[in-house]
Amino acid sequence: MSDDLISIEVDGKKLQGRQGDMLIEVTDAAGIHIPRFCYHRKLSVAANCRMCLVEVERAPKTLPACATPISEGMRVFTKSPKAIIAQRATMEFLLINHPLDCPVCDQGGECELQDVAMGYGDGVGQYSETKRVVKDKDIGPLVATDMTRCIHCTRCVRFGDEIAGVRELGTTGRSEHMEIGTYVAKAVSSEISGNIIDLCPVGALTAKPSRYTFRPWELAQQAAIAPHDGLGSNLYMHIRDGAVMRVVPRENEAVNEVWLSDRDRFSYLAIQHPERLASPMIRVEAGWREASWEEALELAAKGLKAAGVGLHTLIAPHATLEELYLAQKVTRGLGSANIDHRLRQRDFRDQDALPVMPWLGHDVAELEQRQAVLLIGSHIRHEQPLLAQRLRKAALAGAKVSFINPAALPQTFAPLQNLGVGNAGMVSELAGVLAALAPSGLDESLAALVKSAVVDARHQAIAASLKSAQRAGVYIGALALAHPDLAVLRQLAQAIAQHSGASLGELASAGNSAGAWLAGAVPHRLPGGGSSAHKGLNAAEMLSAAASATLLVGVEPELDSLYGQAALDSLQQSGFNVVLTPFVTDAMRSYAHVILPMVTFAETSGTYVNVEGLWQGMRAVARPHAEARPAWKILRVLGNLLNLDGFDFMSSEDVRDELREACKNVQLSTRIDRHFAPLNQTPNTQSLQRIGGVALYAVDSLVRRASALQDTAEAQAAQHVRLHPQEIVRLSLVAGERARVSCGERQVQMTVQVDDALPAGCAWIAYGTQTSALLGDAMHIGIQPIDRPINMREA
Partner 1 sequence: MNEQERARKIALLSAETVAEIEHWLSKYPADQRMSALLAALRAAQHQNHGFLTTDLMDAVALYLGVPEIAAYEVATFYSMFETKPVGQHSISICTNISCWLMGSERIVEHVENRLGIKTGESTPDGKFFLKCEEECLAACDGGPMMQVDHVYYERLTPEIVDQILDAVAKKDGH
Nearer to partner 1, 105 or 419 (CB): 419
d(CA 266, CA 248): 9
DSSP run (H or E) holding 482: none
Q: How far is the CB of 418 from partner 1 (least distance, A)?
A: 15
SS (H, E, C) 552-621: EECCCHHHHCCCCHHHHHHHHHCCCEEEEECECCHHHHHHCCEEEEECCHHHCCEEEECCCCCEEEECCC
Interhelix angle 321-333/631-641, rounded to 10 degrees, is: 20
Nearer to partner 1, 188 or 321 (CB): 188
Nearer to partner 1, 173 or 335 (CB): 173
Q: How far is the CB of 655 from partner 1 (least distance, A)?
A: 50
SS (H, E, C) 42-79: CCCCCCCCCCCEEEECCCCCCEEHHHCECCCCCEEECC
Q: What are phi and psi of 777, to 5 degrees?
A: -95, 25
Contacts made by residues 127-135, CB under 8 angstroms, sequence distance 24+: 127/92, 127/95, 127/96, 131/96, 131/97, 131/98, 131/99, 132/97, 132/176, 134/179
Residues with Cβ < 8 Å from 212, sequence gap 6 or more? 106
Sole window of 164-172, 278-286, 338-346, 560-568 interacting with partner 1 (rule: CB under 8 A): 164-172
> Taking CB under 8 A as the rule, does residue 168 contact partner 1?
yes
Sole window of 161-169, 208-216, 585-593, 644-652 interacting with partner 1 (rule: CB under 8 A): 161-169
Which residues in 419-438 contact partner 1 (CB under 8 A)?
Answer: none
Nearer to partner 1, 450 or 723 (CB): 723
Q: How far is the CB of 373 from partner 1 (least distance, A)?
A: 21
Q: Are 611 and 514 within 8 A, CB to CB?
A: yes
Q: How far is the CB of 753 from partner 1 (least distance, A)?
A: 9
Q: How far is the CB of 174 from partner 1 (least distance, A)?
A: 5
Q: Are 508 and 517 within 8 A, CB to CB?
A: no
Q: How far is the CB of 160 from partner 1 (least distance, A)?
A: 9
> Taking CB under 8 A as the rule, does residue 189 contact partner 1?
no
3-state SS assignment for residue 351 = helix
> Taking CB under 8 A as the rule, does residue 573 contact partner 1?
no
Sole window of 176-184, 436-444, 699-707, 770-778 interacting with partner 1 (rule: CB under 8 A): 176-184
Q: Are 255 and 384 within 8 A, CB to CB?
A: no
Of these, 79, 132, 167, 240, which contacts partner 1 (CB under 8 A)?
A: 167
Q: How far is the CB of 177 from partner 1 (least distance, A)?
A: 8
Q: Are 550 and 566 within 8 A, CB to CB?
A: no
Exposure b/e, 666-684, CB count within 10 A at least 16 = b: bebebebeebbebeeeeee
> Taking CB under 8 A as the rule, does residue 184 contact partner 1?
yes
Nearer to partner 1, 171 or 742 (CB): 171
Q: How far is the CB of 347 from partner 1 (least distance, A)?
A: 33
d(CA 553, CA 538): 16
Q: How far is the CB of 716 from partner 1 (least distance, A)?
A: 17
d(CA 79, CA 10): 10
Sole window of 43-51, 181-189, 378-386, 514-522 interacting with partner 1 (rule: CB under 8 A): 181-189
d(CA 789, CA 403): 43
Sole window of 117-125, 170-178, 577-585, 610-618 interacting with partner 1 (rule: CB under 8 A): 170-178
Q: How deeply is 556 buried, as exposed, middle or buried, from its count of CB atoms within 10 A (0-12, 13-18, 19+)?
A: buried
Sole window of 112-120, 168-176, 415-423, 455-463 interacting with partner 1 (rule: CB under 8 A): 168-176
Residues with Cβ < 8 Å from 738, sequence gap 6 or more? 749, 750, 751, 752, 786
Nearer to partner 1, 119 or 725 (CB): 725
Interhelix angle 486-500/444-452, rounded to 10 degrees, is: 90
Sole window of 167-175, 474-482, 506-514, 677-685 interacting with partner 1 (rule: CB under 8 A): 167-175
Q: Could you tell me the CA-to-CA distances from 262 to 156, 190, 208 in Å, in that order?
A: 15, 9, 12
d(CA 202, CA 51): 14
Which amino acid would we find at residue 613? Answer: G
> Taking CB under 8 A as the rule, does residue 171 contact partner 1?
yes
Which amino acid would we find at residue 318? Answer: H
Q: How many residues bind to partner 1 according to rule CB under 8 A?
A: 16
Q: What are phi and psi of 2, to 5 degrees?
A: -70, -25
> Taking CB under 8 A as the rule, does residue 589 contact partner 1?
no
Count the alpha carbons within 13 Å of 489 in the hemisphere toward its beta carbon: 31
> Taking CB under 8 A as the rule, does residue 127 contact partner 1?
no
> Taking CB under 8 A as the rule, does residue 714 contact partner 1?
no
Nearer to partner 1, 87 or 193 (CB): 193
Nearer to partner 1, 546 or 717 (CB): 717
Q: Are 518 and 609 within 8 A, CB to CB?
A: yes
> Taking CB under 8 A as the rule, does residue 182 contact partner 1?
yes
Q: Are 195 and 259 within 8 A, CB to CB?
A: yes
Q: Are 318 and 554 within 8 A, CB to CB?
A: yes
Of these, 44, 71, 172, 640, which contacts partner 1 (CB under 8 A)?
A: 172
Q: How far is the CB of 183 from partner 1 (least distance, A)?
A: 4
Strand 339-340 to 780-785 pairing: unpaired
Nearer to partner 1, 168 or 340 (CB): 168
Q: How far is the CB of 355 from partner 1 (least distance, A)?
A: 42
Nearer to partner 1, 101 or 756 (CB): 756
Nearer to partner 1, 168 or 700 (CB): 168
Sole window of 110-118, 166-174, 581-589, 712-720 interacting with partner 1 (rule: CB under 8 A): 166-174
Of these, 174, 664, 788, 793, which contacts partner 1 (CB under 8 A)?
A: 174
> Taking CB under 8 A as the rule, does residue 736 contact partner 1?
no
Sole window of 180-188, 257-265, 364-372, 787-795 interacting with partner 1 (rule: CB under 8 A): 180-188
Sole window of 172-180, 215-223, 485-493, 712-720 interacting with partner 1 (rule: CB under 8 A): 172-180
Nearer to partner 1, 594 or 718 (CB): 718
> Taking CB under 8 A as the rule, does residue 725 contact partner 1?
yes
Question: How remote is the C-alpha of 331 from its chain's centroid?
Answer: 30
Q: How far is the CB of 400 from partner 1 (least distance, A)?
A: 16
Nearer to partner 1, 84 or 754 (CB): 754
Q: What are phi and psi of 54, to 5 degrees?
A: -135, 160
Q: How far is the CB of 166 from partner 1 (least distance, A)?
A: 8
d(CA 429, CA 376): 10
The DSSP code sequence of 122-182 is -S--S--SPPP--------SSEEE-GGG-----HHHHIIIIIIS----EEES-GGG-EEE-
Nearer to partner 1, 30 or 717 (CB): 717
Nearer to partner 1, 161 or 627 (CB): 161
Of these, 99, 170, 216, 782, which contacts partner 1 (CB under 8 A)?
A: 170
Q: How far is the CB of 169 from partner 1 (least distance, A)?
A: 7
Nearer to partner 1, 169 or 766 (CB): 169
Which residues in 747-766 contact partner 1 (CB under 8 A)?
Answer: 754-756
Q: Which residues bind partner 1 (CB under 8 A)?
A: 161, 167-174, 182-184, 725, 754-756
